[in-house]
């Protein structure tokens, strides 16, 4: 069951919508803090419990206002808060910690701002969530799909990505080295790639002359989803930082691998199916342009 607060008033106003998001995330932060204060154990495990508690609060708020998109900024907001907490609790401050913190904050601020610019308020819900609600199997309650598929699953995926960030921010015994420099280059390049792709997409979509057209210029000429490629690469960069700090934490590679699987088998197919429905010519575009990784120069597919 879902409930709406404020009727059309909240849904039609961006400021009201952002006020609801802010209150929900403050409540989520308080819940996470309460868990960390009440639970003893390994810091990584306590963080996991706090992350789940915060997700449940956001889920409850999304059900209260009947808008699953309330969760959308969680993907970029929660990691930044978690990394800040880990760095603050792991003195002394090292070059690796500073690099990770700066890059995560740059990624978080950019991605959250990108969401905020496109979100129109509580009347605006991501088309994928609307589709999931409308096409869910008979007898399956919406709250279960919202909780499991839209909110808990991404929280678990992002936490898997953060596993490597734990040693990168808490293990301070290994000095800065070549692998750290590579990690900085990969992560910064990923943020630049994602930012450039989003900027090119917004510029293309804002031009009335491109209405109904398929973007095939700039980065989008070489990849159908360069923004997703940037997101995947960001998490590989985080893993390199963790590897530089503690090589025995190599197993945290499950984080970036999970990201690859998520975008390859969930996000890309969903976006491609929608584009095919809206633009039949997209089938030819799919034949010419690879989903994520650009083809080598001179390659003919």
The overall pTM is greater than 0.75? yes
Residue 295, SS3 per DSSP: coil
pLDDT in the model for residue 295: 87
pLDDT in the model for residue 260: 97
pLDDT in the model for residue 296: 81
pLDDT in the model for residue 297: 72
pLDDT in the model for residue 299: 57
* Long-range contacts of residues 271-277, Cβ cutoff 8 Å, at least 24 apart: 271/225, 272/224, 274/127, 275/214
pLDDT in the model for residue 9: 41
pLDDT in the model for residue 7: 41
- The segments of the chain whose pLDDT lies below 50 read 1-11
**Six token digits for residue 25:** 């995330």
Output b/e per residue, 14-47; b: 16+ Cβ within 10 A: eebbeebbeebbeebbebbeebbeeeeeeeeebb
User: What domains lie within the chain, and their CATH numbers?
Assistant: 1-72+119-162 (no CATH), 94-116+164-301 (1.20.120)
């Amino acid at each position: 069951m879902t409930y709406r607060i404020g009727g059309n008033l909240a849904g039609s106003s961006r400021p009201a919508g952002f006020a609801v998001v802010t209150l929900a995330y403050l409540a989520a932060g308080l819940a996470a803090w309460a868990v960390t204060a009440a639970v003893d154990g390994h810091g990584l495990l306590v963080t996991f419990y706090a992350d789940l508690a915060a997700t449940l609060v956001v889920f409850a708020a999304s059900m209260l206002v009947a808008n699953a998109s309330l969760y959308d900024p969680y993907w970029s907001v929660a990691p930044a808060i978690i990394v800040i907490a880990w760095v603050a609790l792991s003195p002394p401050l090292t070059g690796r910690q500073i690099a990770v913190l700066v890059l995560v904050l740059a990624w978080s601020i950019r991605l959250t701002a990108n969401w905020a610019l496109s979100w129109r308020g509580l009347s605006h819900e991501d088309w994928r969530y609307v589709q999931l609600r409308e096409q869910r199997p008979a007898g399956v309650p919406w709250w279960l799909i919202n909780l499991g598929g839209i909110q808990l699953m991404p929280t678990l995926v992002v936490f898997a990505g953060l596993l490597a960030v734990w040693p990168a921010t808490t293990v301070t015994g290994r000095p800065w080295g070549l692998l750290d420099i590579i990690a900085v280059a990969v992560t910064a390049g990923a943020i630049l790639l994602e930012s450039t792709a989003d900027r090119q997409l917004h510029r293309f979509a804002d031009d009335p002359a491109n209405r109904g057209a398929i973007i095939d210029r700039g980065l989008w000429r070489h990849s159908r989803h360069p923004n997703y490629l940037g997101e995947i690469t960001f998490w590989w960069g985080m893993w390199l930082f963790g590897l530089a700090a503690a090589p025995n934490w190599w197993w945290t590679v499950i984080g970036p691998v999970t990201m690859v699987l998520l975008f390859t088998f969930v996000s890309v197919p969903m976006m491609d199916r929608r584009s095919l429905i809206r633009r039949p010519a997209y089938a030819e575009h799919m034949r010419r342009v690879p989903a994520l990784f650009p083809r080598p120069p001179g390659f003919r597919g």
